[in-house]
């Protein structure tokens, strides 16, 4: 009886953690995702309480497969989760300096482990909200699979503050679900940058790109 009560408590705590919880309280259950991205093998340590622990999400995959990276300079993955997008960018161009940011401390810890595991020595991961942890840097490229479950205000802030975080001619690339990417997201990109195009679409997702 005592055991059953304990089990229920643990389950309830698990449910209380969203993937965007800042300090997950649930005991982590770890996983390992082994996958191929742009023809190269990657391994990601994942955990409960972090976005898409069982596999690289389809939207994440589309962003990685289609992202355009600068020849040199700095890249930001905002809302990095366990780091798939930014780490792939860092591995595909080892001369880039790649910054990963997430509000979830467990995600940031995983992203650091994953950078090392995948030989991405040109990566730094910082914990905090939106652009706060990197407000002393401007980037040549910003990538994001945004936290829609955290609410539209957060996603709008990622888009509207992006230009001030970017060098001239830098690209802002975000993957969104096609169902909601229509008018609503395009007009947010237009407002922030004055331009937007769809660079890829597949599996119910599309990648929107704006140039500063
Ligand atoms: C949809 S997930 C994408 C994770 C990862 N980029 C991927 O594609 O697997 C969005 C991420 O944004 C993070 N997030 C939510 N609110 C945030 C905020 N205010 N600032 C920074 N990151 C945030 C969440 O913790 C989550 O890891």
Tens digits of residue pLDDT in 34-65 = 999 999 999 999 999 999 999 999 999 999 99
| Nearest Cα to Cα of residue 155 among 111, 185, 186 | 185
Report the sign of the C-alpha dihedral through residues 62, 162, 108, 185, in that order: negative
Query: What are the domain boundaries of the chain?
Result: 57-211
Q: Hey, which of 150, 160, 162 would you mutate to test ligand 1's pocket, going by the most ligand atoms within 8 Å of its Cβ?
A: 150
Contacts of 201 (CB under 8 A, 6+ apart): 62, 178, 207
Residue 35 in contact with ligand 1 by CB distance below 6 A: no
Q: Which atom of ligand 1 is nearest to the CA of 59?
A: 8
CB atoms within 10 A of CB 94: 11
Residues linked to residue 209 through DSSP beta bridges, in sequence order = 173, 197
CATH match for 57-211 among 3.40.50.150, 3.40.47.10, 1.20.1440.130, 3.60.10.10: 3.40.50.150
pLDDT given for residue 17 in this prediction: 65
pTM exceeding the 0.75 threshold for the entire prediction? yes
8 Å CB contact between 142 and 134: no
- In this predicted structure, what is the pLDDT of residue 64? 98
Alpha-carbon gap, residue 144 to 150, rounded angstroms: 14
For 25, the token pair is 């309280």
For 91, residues 6+ apart whose C-beta sits below 8 A from its C-beta are 40, 42, 118, 119, 120
Instruction: Name 42's Cβ contacts closer than 8 Å, sequence gap at least 6.
Output: 34, 35, 36, 84, 87, 88, 91, 118
Pair of tokens at residue 186: 């395009």
Residue 103 Cβ < 6 Å to ligand 1: yes
> Hey, what long-range contacts does 22-25 have (CB within 8 A, 24 or more apart)?
22/103, 22/104, 22/105, 23/105, 24/48, 24/49, 24/50, 24/104, 24/105, 24/106
Q: Which of 103, 133, 162, 165 to mutate to test the pocket of ligand 1 (most atoms within 8 A of CB)?
A: 103
Report pLDDT for 135: 96
For residues 134 and 144, give the distance between their C-alpha atoms in angstroms, rounded to a whole number.
15
CB 167 within 8 A of CB 138: yes
Tens digit of each residue's pLDDT, the chain (212 residues): 333 433 333 343 344 567 777 777 778 899 999 999 999 999 999 999 999 999 999 999 999 999 999 999 999 999 999 999 999 999 999 999 999 999 999 999 999 999 999 999 999 999 999 999 999 999 999 999 999 887 899 999 999 999 999 999 999 999 999 887 777 899 999 999 999 999 999 989 999 999 99
Look-up of token digits 């700095």: 74
């Amino acid at each position: 009886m005592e055991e059953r009560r304990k089990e229920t408590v643990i389950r309830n705590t698990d449910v209380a953690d969203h993937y965007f919880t800042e300090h997950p309280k649930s005991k982590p259950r770890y996983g390992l995702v082994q996958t191929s991205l742009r023809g190269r093998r990657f391994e990601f340590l994942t955990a409960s309480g972090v976005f898409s622990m069982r596999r690289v999400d389809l939207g994440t995959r589309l962003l990685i497969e289609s992202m355009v990276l600068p020849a040199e300079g700095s890249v930001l993955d905002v809302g990095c989760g366990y780091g798939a997008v930014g780490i792939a960018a860092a591995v595909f161009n080892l001369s880039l300096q790649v910054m990963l940011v997430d509000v979830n401390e467990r995600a940031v810890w995983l992203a650091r482990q994953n950078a090392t595991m995948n030989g991405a020595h040109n990566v730094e991961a910082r914990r905090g909200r939106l652009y706060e942890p990197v407000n002393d840097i401007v980037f040549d490229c910003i990538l994001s699979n945004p936290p829609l479950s955290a609410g539209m205000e957060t996603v709008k802030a990622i888009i509207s503050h992006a230009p001030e975080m970017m060098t001239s001619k830098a690209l802002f690339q975000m993957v969104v679900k096609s169902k909601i990417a229509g008018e609503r997201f395009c007009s947010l990109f237009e407002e922030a940058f004055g331009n937007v195009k769809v660079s890829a679409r597949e599996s119910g997702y599309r990648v929107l790109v704006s140039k500063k």
